[in-house]
């Protein structure tokens, strides 16, 4: 085999991670902090396998908040001399049973191509309902068994479990599904930056998929070896035991990168989380871009008679809602979907599970509403959600900021970009931020990021941008990062049509 040529040069820690996967013959955990480039290591490994051994079938499973980013990562890092096909079985119109059937219908590989099926975690842990050939509803267990069985029958060369800490509860359907599928899949990679979000025992569920022999399959044997139990009915670990032994076993199977040790990383890492709009949201966005109006489910119309209003409406639509004026001249809003809100909630769950404080920035009041609603529903009890917008009283604003700063444990702060002043120092207790929607003013954007990356911050900062690809979201981020006005970012009519119609007008 000729020498492998990287499409994008790896950083030093990424090259070491890739070597670690190869040395472990494709059974490896990449326990790498967010923003350190785990997906590139996986893509280079899959490319190497394809070039050396020919046709490869792989399954990549991830939460939707992470799954949407994989196609973009493949386009960025996959060498041009490697043919690959991505099959999307994530969110969308397919039921769990239909996804199982799609896996069963995959034809044998007859070309030296890398074929990757992208599927969401929930397909293996949902309370899915389906109907059999006789028209009767199938039980949840039957649906779960069918999709797990479909993967087993397909028997891919390998699987990647992104955000593997979602398998931490070893008794959950999801964790059991991956542990069972692992027996039919020779190469297995687990990826996470928060391998033990609750405590050391979270390792067990993940290692049942990665390498069950390392810790065995006896839960009681595992938990009594590594913890002393007490509390109510002896159900609480009160002392950790044999921690050196656990560490050595983990390191035998895994490669670890902490962000502060990856010296080739910038102090602020910006990560894009692509958002896939629902069919209704996508149709509304394109309609607004092409015809300057959206026909609403309620029977009304949202009209944007001038270009600047059109762009404003499209910024709203990427967040799943649209504002409009009623026949009576009153301002109103209508929600069309929650695609971006769901991705935001999933990322908040991951960061809070890791014990982090997180700041979510948004521009529109309706965005703040849906973020706050989803956060309060999705996060565990005891995790406070603070909010500050233009209507928040000064005293309440200060209470929210100091409450967030002083809270002992994970917390979420939902902030309107334009409201956060230059003097805010309380937010530096958070090293993670999520940009949900952006102000058109670049100084608002810069100051939002500066809320976290400023004097007093002692940790590397990671900013997640929730973006709908080929939309006004992408256009605004490019303008802010390159310090350009929106008019200067769009240089041609064709380019304008591309962003106003999600690529349909290009």
The per-residue pLDDT for range 28-69, each reduced to its tens digit, is 999 998 778 899 999 999 999 999 999 999 999 998 778 878
**Kind and range of the H or E element at 333?**
strand 331-335
Write down the pLDDT at residue 325. 74
Cα(100)–Cα(153) distance, integer angstroms:
10
- Ramachandran region, residue 497 (left: φ > 0; alpha: ψ -120 to 50; beta: rest): alpha
| Identical fold, 12-261 and 268-274+338-500 | yes
Check whether 473 has a pLDDT greater than 50.
yes
Write down the pLDDT at residue 492. 61
| Mean per-residue pLDDT, 450-474 | 84
pLDDT band for 290, please (50, 70, 90 cuts).
confident
Q: Does residue 87 or residue 354 have the better pLDDT?
A: 87
Mean of all residue pLDDT scores within the chain: 86
Write down the pLDDT at residue 180. 96
Calculate what percentage of the chain has a pLDDT beyond 90. Answer: 54
Alpha carbon of residue 200 to chain centroid: 23
pLDDT band for 303, please (50, 70, 90 cuts).
very low
Superfamily the domain 12-261 falls into: Tandem AAA-ATPase domain (3.40.50.10810)
Calculate what percentage of the chain has a pLDDT beyond 70. Answer: 87
| DSSP helix, strand, coil percent of the chain (3-state; round to 5) | 45, 20, 35
Please tell me the number of Cα atoms within 13 Å of 336 on its side-chain side: 26
What residue ranges do the domains of the chain occupy?
12-261, 268-274+338-500
Q: Is 381 exposed, middle or buried (0-12, 13-18, 19+ CB in 10 A)?
A: exposed
What is the β-pairing status of strands 411-416 and 158-162?
A: unpaired
For domain 268-274+338-500, give its CATH number from 3.40.190.10, 3.50.50.60, 3.30.230.10, 3.40.50.300: 3.40.50.300
| Mean per-residue pLDDT, 371-381 | 94
What is the number of other CB atoms lying within 10 angstroms of the CB of residue 129?
Answer: 13
pTM of the model: 0.75
Check whether 289 has a pLDDT greater than 90.
no
Tens digit of each residue's pLDDT (9 = 90 or more) over 73-94: 999 999 999 999 999 998 777 8
């Amino acid at each position: 085999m000729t020498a492998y040529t990287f499409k994008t040069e790896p950083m030093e820690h990424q090259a070491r991670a890739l070597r670690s996967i190869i040395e472990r013959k494709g059974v490896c955990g990449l326990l790498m902090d967010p923003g350190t480039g785990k997906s590139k290591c996986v893509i280079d490994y899959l490319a190497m396998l394809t070039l050396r051994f020919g046709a490869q079938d792989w399954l990549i499973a991830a939460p939707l908040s992470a799954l949407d980013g994989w196609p973009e990562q493949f386009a960025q890092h996959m060498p041009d001399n490697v043919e690959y096909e991505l099959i999307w079985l994530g969110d969308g119109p397919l039921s769990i049973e239909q996804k199982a059937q799609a896996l069963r219908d995959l034809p044998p590989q007859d070309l030296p191509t890398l074929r990757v099926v992208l599927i969401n975690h929930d397909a293996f842990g949902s309370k899915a309902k389906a109907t059999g050939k006789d028209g009767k509803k199938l039980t949840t267990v039957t649906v779960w068994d069918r999709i797990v069985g479909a993967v087993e029958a397909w028997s891919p060369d390998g699987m990647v479990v992104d955000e593997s800490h979602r398998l931490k509860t070893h008794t959950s359907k999801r964790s059991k599904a991956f542990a069972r599928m692992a027996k039919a899949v020779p190469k297995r990679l687990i990826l996470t930056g928060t391998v033990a979000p609750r405590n050391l025992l979270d390792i067990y569920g993940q290692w049942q998929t990665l390498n069950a022999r390392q810790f065995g399959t006896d839960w009681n044997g595992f938990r009594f070896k590594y913890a002393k139990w007490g509390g109510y009915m002896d159900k609480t670990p009160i002392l950790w035991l044999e921690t050196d032994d656990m560490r050595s076993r983990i390191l035998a199977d895994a490669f670890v990168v902490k962000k502060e040790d990856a010296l080739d990383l910038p102090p602020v890492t910006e990560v894009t989380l692509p958002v896939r709009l629902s069919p209704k949201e996508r149709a509304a966005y394109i309609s607004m871009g092409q015809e300057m109006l959206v026909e609403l489910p309620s029977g009304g119309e949202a009209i944007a008679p001038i270009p600047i209003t059109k762009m404003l409406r499209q910024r709203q639509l990427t967040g799943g809602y649209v504002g409009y004026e009623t026949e009576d001249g009153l301002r109103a809003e209508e929600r069309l979907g929650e695609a971006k809100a769901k991705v935001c909630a999933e990322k908040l769950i991951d960061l809070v599970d890791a014990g982090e404080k997180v700041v979510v920035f948004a521009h529109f009041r309706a965005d703040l509403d849906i973020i706050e609603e989803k956060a309060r529903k999705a996060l565990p009890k005891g995790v406070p959600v603070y909010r500050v917008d233009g209507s928040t009283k000064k005293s309440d604003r200060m209470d929210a900021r100091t409450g967030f700063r002083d809270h002992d444990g994970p917390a979420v702060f939902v902030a309107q970009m334009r409201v956060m002043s230059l003097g805010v120092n309380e937010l530096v207790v958070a090293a993670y931020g999520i940009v949900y929607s952006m102000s058109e003013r670049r100084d608002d954007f810069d100051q939002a990021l500066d809320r976290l990356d400023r004097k007093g911050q002692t940790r590397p900062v990671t900013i997640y941008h929730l973006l709908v690809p080929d939309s006004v979201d992408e256009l605004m981020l490019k303008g802010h990062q390159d310090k350009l006005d929106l008019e200067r970012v769009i240089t041609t009519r064709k380019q304008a049509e591309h962003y106003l119609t999600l690529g349909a007008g290009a």
